[in-house]
Amino acid sequence: MMFDKSAQSGRECPAPLRDLHVAVIMDGNGRWAQNRGWPRLVGHRKGAEQVRKLVEVCPELGIRYLTLYAFSTENWKRSTEEVLGLMSLFARYIRREAGRMKREGVRLRFIGDRSRLDDDLQALIQWIETETAGNDRVHLSVALNYGGRDEIARASRAMARDVAAGKLDADEINDNVLSRYLDTRDLPDPDLVVRTSGEFRVSNFLLWQAAYAEYVFTPTLWPDFSPKTMENILKDFSLRERRFGGVKV
């Protein structure tokens, strides 16, 4: 349990949240731009701006872990222009935000299959992960070329290889063991998954990890998603009861 339910005497007074893991499916960048007659990439650029603002307020909102779905294993189907534009936006974000992340104690990690990314981006990712590895105030994880099914398939291949090498006993494989083979092995499971833009789908995001997460769907398009939007979502979340399959006590 990531928030203090004992202090929650009535619905009007939620307990302060802390050490939360919030995961976000940032949707609606394209529509936001198209509604204004602008190219889709303008929406992605504005979306990156909102990411920066959200990361900044994580400590005061009680978010210790923020995991963002930036590019799915299916997003390669988009136009070459959009895919290349997004890739250069990710690289620019890393370069531009490196100093701030180091100063503000943000640890940046990437989840997903990075082997398909170009070499320069892979090197940049490796660099920023090392540069921020000692930070512990906010854990920002960006899902890039990420798909939940793909992640589980990669984990299964790695386990099979370890079984073949005699490093793992097949009979000992359980959910804890499998978790340790996932890209998220160093992260707690998400408490809350938010999806923007009025879509009600999970879209292959953190399929394994979100087994007990709460979901919030908001009509706000990601480029309009502000720290205040997150604050309101967290107020609602703090009033929900999470039982993890048990009964109310």
Residue 31 CB, shortest distance to ligand FPP, in Å, is 3
Nearer to ligand FPP, 30 or 147 (CB): 30
State yes or no: residue 222 binds ligand FPP (CB under 6 A).
Answer: yes
Token reading at 149: 């099914």
State yes or no: residue 110 binds ligand FPP (CB under 6 A).
Answer: no
State yes or no: residue 30 binds ligand FPP (CB under 6 A).
Answer: yes
- 186 is a catalytic site residue: no
Residue 90 CB, shortest distance to ligand FPP, in Å, is 6
Burial class of residue 129 in the structure, from the number of CB atoms within 10 Å of its CB (0-12 exposed, 13-18 middle, 19+ buried): middle
41 close to 83: Cβ distance less than 8 angstroms: no
The values of phi and psi at residue 61, to 5°, are -90, -5
Write each residue from 160 to 179 as x if it is in contact with ligand FPP (CB under 6 A), else as -, in one continuous string: --------------------
For ligand FPP, the binding residue among 2, 15, 57, 75 (CB under 6 A) is 75
Closest C-alpha among 100, 114, 109, 106 to residue 127: 109
Using DSSP, state whether 143 is helix, strand or coil: strand
In degrees, rounded to 5, the angle at the alpha carbon of residue 105 between the alpha carbons of residues 99 and 111 is: 85
Instruction: Point out which residues bind ligand FPP (CB under 6 A).
Output: 26-31, 44, 47-48, 51, 68, 70-71, 75, 86, 89-90, 93, 142, 197, 222
Catalytic machinery residues: 27, 75
